[in-house]
């Protein structure tokens, strides 16, 4: 199913993000996890691309399994960094051949240890160029990334918003945001996107915190700010994994309750491949019984 159709029919759309197992782990290891996610009846599951390096080849295979065997709609992430046009076309062909209809089209980050990587030498320099290319060849539903606090490469949020509008106008059906921990930033972002004429659904990305060091690593990579409430929580529970996990689930549940009360288009849960914690959050927020 084309996910834009789903966003037009239902609110909120509940989606999970998972990542493929690394190449030194059998791909089958994700299947028992997927069995458990299936029980939670998400509207769709998205599968990241390139996480952990070479496991990127597994994205389409897992997205296909989710859709064609588990009967849950899926979305394959696709980054264009370091790929030639032919390589992208081969991937797009594989996506279509696996009966997949939804793609999250991304630029991607510089390869590890290459901070001076020159994106201008890429076949597609920015995500909007990849999106234009996909649009010219396929009728996939195309999603793209949005950054409520601005992308790290942008000097000003205003510049990032300008490029986001350009990207949406190229042919984006819906946006998925980078994770954030303060809902007010997301609501302000919705006001700003609406004021520049972005009208597509913008589903918020929510990541529950399971470990204090996990959150420091992730926020240092994506630049999400940590509200004082969260810092206090990490100081209080950071040394005890079990208490930290419970507090992280409570924090994410509160965020989600508030988002739903404010009529969001969807909730995109960054599950970290953890069905048990995901289930607890869905129960806490009344999304499942
Ligand atoms: P773009 O939209 O191209 O933007 C990148 C930067 O360039 C921004 O600062 C933007 O303002 C600027 N820009 C855009 N267009 C122009 C232009 N025409 N001229 C000048 N500047 C411009 N990474 C992975 O490797 N695998 C994944 O599976 C993955 N999934 C993600 C899912 C979500 C929901 C999000 C939010 C991010 C994900 N990422 C993933 C990370 C993403 O690849 C990085 O954040 C990357 O740095 C930017 O990708 P983008 O598609 O947002 O880039």
Tens digits of per-residue pLDDT, 178-220?
999 999 999 999 999 999 999 999 999 999 998 888 888 888 8
Interatomic CA distance for residues 71 and 47, integer angstroms: 15
Instruction: Identify the pLDDT of residue 56.
Output: 73
Using CA positions, which residue lies closest to atom 2 of ligand 1? Answer: 127
Q: Which residues pair with 289 in a beta bridge?
A: none
For β-strands 44-47 and 13-18, DSSP reports them as parallel
Instruction: List the one residue out of 82, 128, 129, 131 whose CA is nearest residue 108.
Output: 82
Cβ(127) to ligand 1 under 6 A? yes
Cβ(77) to ligand 1 under 6 A? yes
The catalytic residues are 17
- Does domain 3-210+247-284 sit in CATH 3.40.50.970? no
Q: How confident is the model at residue 54 (pLDDT cuts 50, 70, 90)?
A: low
ipTM of the modeled complex: 0.99
The whole-model pTM stands at 0.97
User: Mean per-residue pLDDT for 66-85?
Assistant: 96
Cis peptide, bond prior to residue 12, ω within 30 of zero: yes
- Counting Cβ atoms within 10 Å, is residue 200 exposed (0-12), middle (13-18) or buried (19+)? middle
Q: How confident is the model at residue 55 (pLDDT cuts 50, 70, 90)?
A: confident
Per-domain boundaries in the chain: 3-210+247-284
Instruction: Identify the pLDDT of residue 79.
Output: 96
φ and ψ of 185, to 5 deg: -65, -40
More confident residue, 22 or 57: 22
Cβ(160) to ligand 1 under 6 A? yes
User: Mean per-residue pLDDT for 213-228?
Assistant: 86
Q: In this structure, are residues 201 and 169 in contact, taking their beta carbons and an 8 Å threshold? A: no
Interatomic CA distance for residues 271 and 285, integer angstroms: 15
């Amino acid at each position: 199913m084309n996910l834009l159709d789903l966003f037009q029919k239902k609110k909120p759309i509940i989606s999970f993000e998972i990542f493929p197992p690394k190449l030194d782990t059998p791909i089958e290891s994700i299947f028992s996890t997927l069995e458990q996610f299936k029980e939670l009846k998400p509207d769709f599951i998205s599968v990241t691309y390139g996480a952990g390096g070479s496991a990127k080849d597994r994205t389409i295979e897992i997205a296909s399994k989710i859709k064609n065997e588990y009967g849950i709609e899926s979305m394959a992430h696709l980054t264009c960094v370091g790929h030639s046009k032919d390589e992208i076309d081969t991937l797009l062909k594989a996506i279509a051949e696996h009966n997949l209809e939804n793609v999250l089209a991304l630029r991607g980050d510089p390869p590890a240890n290459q901070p001076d990587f020159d994106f201008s030498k890429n076949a597609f320099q920015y995500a909007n160029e990849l999106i234009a290319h996909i649009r010219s060849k396929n009728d996939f539903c195309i999603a793209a990334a949005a950054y409520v606090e601005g992308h790290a490469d942008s000097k000003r949020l205003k510049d990032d918003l300008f490029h986001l509008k350009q990207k949406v106008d190229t042919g984006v059906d819906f946006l998925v945001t980078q994770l954030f921990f303060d809902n007010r930033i997301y609501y302000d972002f919705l006001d700003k996107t609406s004021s520049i004429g972005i009208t597509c659904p913008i589903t918020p990305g929510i990541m529950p915190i399971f470990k204090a060091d996990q959150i420091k690593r992730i926020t240092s990579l994506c630049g999400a700010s940590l509200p004082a409430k969260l810092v206090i929580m990490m100081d209080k529970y950071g040394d005890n994994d079990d208490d930290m996990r419970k507090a992280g689930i409570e924090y994410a549940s509160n965020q989600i309750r508030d988002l739903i009360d404010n009529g969001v288009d969807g909730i995109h849960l960054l599950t970290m491949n953890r069905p048990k914690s995901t289930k607890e959050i869905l129960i806490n927020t009344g999304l499942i019984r």
